[in-house]
Amino acid sequence: MADILLIDDDALLRAVVAIKLIGAGHQVRCAGDGGEGLAMALAEPPDMVVLDVMMPVMTGPEVLARLREEPATAQVPVLILTALDGAGDRATARHAGATAFLTKPFASDELLARIEAALAAPARLHDAA
């Protein structure tokens, strides 16, 4: 069981993803914006972060950059979960230190598989490329 911090401004998506993750045996904490999520991650570092890109207060890339700057969260796997699907979006996530990237809409099985893979081998995307 992993402690997963889900940071997304879409309340319905948070609820659906949280249910799936809890059903898979994980503990889930949720934040509705980047600022809240960053504060939660720094206060109690999770085993993994699932992070949206377009959010109020702080964007996903801003949160990811701050997570990578802090020793307590620098190596925490981060799955970018976003509606953006351009090559530039993936490159930005890779450069920022994301572990994995998944576009919305997504299949629940694919989400769980990416999370399990990231937890098993938390090398960042740019380390694997």
Domains of the chain: which residue ranges?
3-128
pTM across the whole model: 0.89
| pLDDT tens figures, 103-122 | 888 999 999 999 999 998 75
Among 3.30.1330.10, 1.10.1740.10, 3.40.50.2300, 3.40.50.2000, what is the CATH number of 3-128? 3.40.50.2300
pLDDT at 67: 96
Which residues share a beta bridge with 27? 3
- Residue 15, CA distances (Å) to 28, 43, 67, 122 in order: 10, 22, 24, 25
pLDDT in tens, 66-85: 999 999 999 999 999 988 76
Name the 3-class secondary structure at 71. coil
28-32, 71-75, 101-105, 125-129: segment of lowest average pLDDT: 125-129
Q: What is the pLDDT of residue 128?
A: 38
Residue 110 has phi, psi (to 5 degrees) of: -65, -40
User: Euclidean distance between the first and final Cα of the chain, in Å?
Assistant: 28
CA pair distance 42, 56, nearest whole angstrom: 18
Q: What is residue 40's predicted lDDT score, i.e. its pLDDT?
A: 98
